[in-house]
Structure 1
Amino acid sequence: MADKGYVENEIRASALELIGNTPLVALDRLYTGPGRILAKCEFMNPGASVKCRSASHMIIQARKNGELQPGKPVLEATSGNQGTGLAIACAVLGHPLNILMSAGNSERRAIHMESLGANCVRVPQVEGTYGNVTLADIKAAEKAALELKAETGGYFVNQFNNEVNSESHYLTTGPEIWRQTGHHVDAFIATVGTAGTFMGTAKYLKEKNPDIKAFVVEPAGSEPIKGCPITKPLHLLQGSGYGCIPNLFKFDNMDGTLSITDEEAIEYRKLIGEKEGLYVGFTSGANVAAAVKLLNSGKIPKDSWVVTMLNDSGLKY
């Protein structure tokens, strides 16, 4: 029999099989220790963000449980990354997709989603400015999505209230980190938008080792999880820090919060590029800034391994 010249199990059936199993990279040039910062390269997902995980899982589960019938339309309100993940899933599985996104979110995100076949409606801002999106802006996009749902009968993904969102990280992100570190995780930290990434990953890791510490990263001045009044609703961390405690968030698996300023996020985003050769977004900069802050805080041993997320590509901004 002739040699086929290829390995069948190395050929992916679709873009959905490119989601997850992202590498974990040591940021040893940016942070020289003691301790270590390990970062999940979520920008390597096909939609260039961590949201590909939850987007694909929510669509697949909705199809399995009958909420979403084959070929029927899908709609969602998003800051862009979840919408891009949904656009990939809908393109592969054959669903028309309507996205409602605040005009304050990066235009590059709209271009990305539309290139994947989605219809992206940019909803006028209520109080923010371009690049700074507030809770009111998100609510305006969500209101527009619900109005469109009433008109079209499309399946509303509802990422902020969909438990399958956090389940995706419990099933994939957490187990990957546990395996990739050889079960050596001392702390996990992440920014919070819907709270899906933090909740699912922290839950899994703490089930494996209750001594692992889990910290939420919040923008300085917009720290409701910490219990502070909102003094700075406008910040650079698009897709996180909306000034409210997300409906999916539970305090059970959180050990504390870390506050990061816009300036710190900008500084560490720049350092990730210059020291590690990785071009990432502002929430990634905030995560790494928070990891450094945690290692220097005395809250965990100085030789700890801290795992965090590089949420998305810098090309989205």
Structure 2
Amino acid sequence: MKSDAAIIHLPEFSKHIGNKGNNKFFALLGSKFPSASIKYISVLGMLTHLNNTVGLDKVSTLYSSTSGNTGTAAAYICKKTGMKFIALVDQKLEADKAAKITAYGGKIIRVNGGVHERIALARKLSEDDPYGVDLDQYNNPGALLGHYQITGPIIWGAMDGKVDAIVVAIGTGGTFGGIAAYLTQRNSRLITVPVDAKGSAVIDGTPHCRLLTGIGCAFIPKNVYRAYQFIRSEPIVVKEKDAFLTARWFRKTKCLEIGGSGGAVISATLDLADQITNKRILMVFHDGADDYHLTVYSDTWMVKHGFINTKKEAAHV
């Protein structure tokens, strides 16, 4: 993957927000990675770690608790390497996300309960399978290492080392932690802003049911504790309604089509831009809009869940 394809300058975004603080805005597009998500790098790193620690030469099946992108990336890589992949997902996982996993040959098991039940089942199935292993995205340090070794250098190289701030959604910790670790080693003044969802335990601290996926977690994973040390600014928590409406606004202004977590990143970036001036700010978008046509970009879904009042109102957001 070419770095110049993954990172773009967003001058139109600056115009739409009134050129706040004379800052310049850039975006890393996770949709440009294989499997159309930045989680491809996370999974590569985690598999490398597993190979170095437990060995994968005799492993035929990979198990993982996932809410979407990690599962898609794992299914994609497993298809390339000849492994089977089994994704443990919530009952509420959207049909389009499930379809992408199965399109790459993955098997879906819908689990009653929440993330803890998914994790427990992934662990049990892998332990009961003599040729199976649990990816364990919550604790596997390879998630950070992958972004440290691959994504960080892509950013640094594509921007010629001229990056003053990064804004990244934080969930299980690997993407934010790995990117921030690499870049802060090269720029000690770098502003690193983790973005969490309201209703997540990671930063907000008060977990509850929510519809915004790809950001936050119902508990604090070990990888998040590893990532905390690379925070160089006040974290920003975004309400899911704000994330969804911002993502729709971003598409309407013809900037880009992004996922729900990307809407949270933009919302946080707007807050950050009010506080700093003359900076080059990089927003990291984990994925594109492909998995969100039935949710964030569906007027019916937005009305059903109370994020907009009527379909007539939807024409303006």
Aligning the two structures, in what range does the TM-score lie when normalised by the shorter sequence?
Answer: 0.7 to 0.9
- The answer (yes or no) to whether the contact 1:74–1:155 under 8 Å persists in 2 is yes
Q: Which residue of 2 is the match for residue 245 of structure 1?
A: 220
**3-state SS in 2 of match to 1:248:** helix
Aligned length: 283
1:166-205 alignment, distance < 5 Å? 166-205=144-183
Paired with 2:198 and 2:50, the residues of 1 have a C-alpha distance of 36
1:39-50 alignment, distance < 5 Å? 39-50=27-38
Q: Which residue of 1 is the match for residue 6 of structure 2?
A: 23
What CA deviation, in whole Å up to 9, does each residue of 1:161-200 have, x standing for no partner?
A: 0001100000111111111112111111211111001100
1:33-72 alignment, distance < 5 Å? 33=19, 34-70=22-58, 72=60
Q: Which residue of 1 is the match for residue 78 of structure 2?
A: 90
Paired with 2:94 and 2:6, the residues of 1 have a C-alpha distance of 26
Runs of 4+ in 1 over 4 A off after TM superposition: 18-22
- The answer (yes or no) to whether the contact 1:223–1:243 under 8 Å persists in 2 is yes
- Of 119, 122, 127, the match for 1:150: 127
**3-state SS in 2 of match to 1:189:** strand
Q: Which residue of 1 is the match for residue 66 of structure 2?
A: 78
Q: Which residue of 2 is the match for residue 222 of structure 1?
A: 200
CA 1:122–1:19 in 2, change beyond 3 Å: closer, same or farther?
Answer: farther
Q: CA deviation at 1:107?
A: 2.1
- Of 90, 94, 103, the match for 1:106: 94
Unaligned runs of 5+ in 1: 1-17, 127-136
CA 1:245–1:115 in 2, change beyond 3 Å: closer, same or farther?
Answer: same
**3-state SS in 1 of match to 2:210:** coil
Q: CA deviation at 1:64?
A: 5.0
**TM-score after normalising by structure 1:** 0.83
Q: Which residue of 2 is the match for residue 254 of structure 1?
A: 231
Which piece of structure 1 moves more, 198-207 or 306-315?
306-315
Paired with 1:21 and 1:58, the residues of 2 have a C-alpha distance of 25
RMSD between superposed Cα atoms in Å? 2.0
Q: CA deviation at 1:272?
A: 2.3
CA 1:37–1:302 in 2, change beyond 3 Å: closer, same or farther?
Answer: same
**3-state SS in 2 of match to 1:29:** helix
Identity in percent: 24
Q: Which residue of 1 is the match for residue 277 of structure 2?
A: 302
Unaligned runs of 5+ in 2: 293-317
Paired with 1:212 and 1:186, the residues of 2 have a C-alpha distance of 5
**TM-score after normalising by structure 2:** 0.83
Paired with 1:144 and 1:19, the residues of 2 have a C-alpha distance of 38
Question: Match for 1:120: what amino acid?
Answer: I
